[in-house]
Amino acid sequence: MTQKLLEVKNLRTSFFTHLGEVKAIRGISFHVNEGEAIGIVGESGSGKSVSSLSVMRLLQFPGKIVGGEVLFKGENLVNKPKKEMMKIRGNEIAMIFQDPMTSLNPVFTVGNQIMEVILKHQKITKTEAKEKAIEMLKLVGIPSPEKRIKNYPHEFSGGMRQRAMVAIALSCEPDLLIADEPTTALDVTIQAQILDLIKGLNTKLGTSTILITHDLGVVADVCSRIVVMYGGLIMEEGTKREIFYEPRHPYTMGLLKSIPKVASDTKTRLVPIVGTPPDLLKPPTGCPFFARCDYAMNICREKQPPYFTINEGHRAMCWLLHDEAPKNELYDSQKGGVRSV
């Protein structure tokens, strides 16, 4: 099970706007094992969505991959011709987008849109495709799918539309499912339904999943490994427990501190991360988190830190992990992650 399904190596993506080059992703490397669910967490503008679009090669002008490799089953996707990419998209890698209201085509029926994917990638007849579409809708828990298949997206509620999106994504049994903020536009009770669905597909069908979100609560439930992004770079990567209970990067610590804890009865003041994310038009030369970091040192401004490995699979980009970094009690007190108050 430790076969790497997807490996992203030093990927860099930029947007060439009239103001200059916006370096949205500045060299990220991560991998997804077969059957694994990983989470990519970050604030808006951290590059988490752009990285998924880069993997799918769905970037639109003026966005462009400027360097690095995306290895899917050992093949590099970055230089694949358009035609071959189309065979992979929807068939081997599928994607669920954030907004179910805008990502379905309003002038085609839901059934039509599911059948479109199946007919495109599989050599089967229309009737068979229709049966398959009904089966998919049933799988994602839409009641009376035989009737619903004739409905247009506007006749579906938000949660049902997102289910239909999941049905489209899964109709060709992809090996990798990329879910980009799949529940942000939904209510908590519906969110729980969709997350349960994605989690079930991962555990039952063994579909590898990349879940992109800004909500730490969502990844805590679904994913086994977490990648924390900030300013177009991966700040920290580790297993779920390592990220939540033994974070080493001040940004991860800050994120965990800034969310209220439902479990505790006592009221503690939230600790916000001061300031705002960096402007990627002029990315800072040093650590992108430098300006907002409580433990910033001189070197942080001047030089981008390398990755320091804490355990196998747990790494963080921070100068504080260097042997010569001064001891910082405040920093040490935060090492317990969500458990340290």
Partner 1 sequence: MSENRNLIEVKNLKKYFGKVKGIIKRKVEYVKAVDDVTFHIKKGETFGLVGESGCGKSTTGRTIIRLYEPTAGQIIYDGTDISTLSSRELLKYRKKMQMIFQDPYASLNTRMTVADIIGESLDIHKLASGKERQEKINNLLQSVGLSKDHASRYPHEFSGGQRQRIGIARALAVDPEFIICDEPISALDVSIQAQVVNMLEDFQEERGLTYLFIAHDLSMVKHISNRVGVMYLGSLVEVAEKNELYSKPTHPYTQALLSAIPVPDPDIAEESKRVILTGDVPSPINPPSGCKFRTRCQYVKPICSEEVPELKDIGGGHYVACHVVNN
Site residues (vs partner 1, CB under 8 A): 43-44, 141, 143, 157, 159-160, 187-193, 195-196, 214-218, 220-221, 240-241, 244-245, 254-256, 258-263, 265, 267, 269-274, 276, 338
Q: Are 234 and 30 in contact (CB under 8 A)?
A: yes
Nearer to partner 1, 45 or 68 (CB): 45
Q: Residue 219 CB, nearest distance to partner 1 (Å)?
A: 8
In the block, tokens 């010569």 appear at: 324
Q: Residue 303 CB, nearest distance to partner 1 (Å)?
A: 24
Q: Residue 172 CB, nearest distance to partner 1 (Å)?
A: 27
Nearer to partner 1, 261 or 322 (CB): 261
Q: Tell me how far apart the alpha carbons of residues 30 and 10 are, in angstroms, rounded to a whole number.
A: 9
Q: Residue 218 CB, nearest distance to partner 1 (Å)?
A: 5
Q: Residue 275 CB, nearest distance to partner 1 (Å)?
A: 9
Nearer to partner 1, 132 or 240 (CB): 240
- Alpha helices (runs of H) in 258-297, residue ranges in sequence order: none
Nearer to partner 1, 67 or 336 (CB): 336
Q: Residue 79 CB, nearest distance to partner 1 (Å)?
A: 35
Nearer to partner 1, 76 or 258 (CB): 258
Q: Tell me how far apart the alpha carbons of residues 286 and 291 are, in angstroms, rounded to a whole number.
A: 10
Which amino acid, residue 196?
D
Nearer to partner 1, 58 or 192 (CB): 192
Q: Tell me how far apart the alpha carbons of residues 250 and 289 are, in angstroms, rounded to a whole number.
A: 9
Q: Are 236 and 29 in contact (CB under 8 A)?
A: no
User: CA-CA distances (angstroms) from residue 7 to 29, 76, 109?
Assistant: 7, 9, 36
- Alpha helices (runs of H) in the chain, residue ranges in sequence order: 48-56, 82-88, 110-121, 126-139, 145-148, 158-170, 188-204, 216-222, 240-245, 250-257, 298-302, 329-333
Tokens representing 122 are 């599989």
Q: Residue 177 CB, nearest distance to partner 1 (Å)?
A: 19
Nearer to partner 1, 91 or 98 (CB): 98
Nearer to partner 1, 80 or 214 (CB): 214
Q: Tell me how far apart the alpha carbons of residues 341 and 337 are, in angstroms, rounded to a whole number.
A: 8
Q: Residue 339 CB, nearest distance to partner 1 (Å)?
A: 8
Q: Which residues contact 277 (CB under 8 A, 6 or more apart)?
A: 43, 45, 46, 230, 231, 288
Comparing CA positions, the residue from 64, 90, 91, 96 lying closest to residue 78 is 64
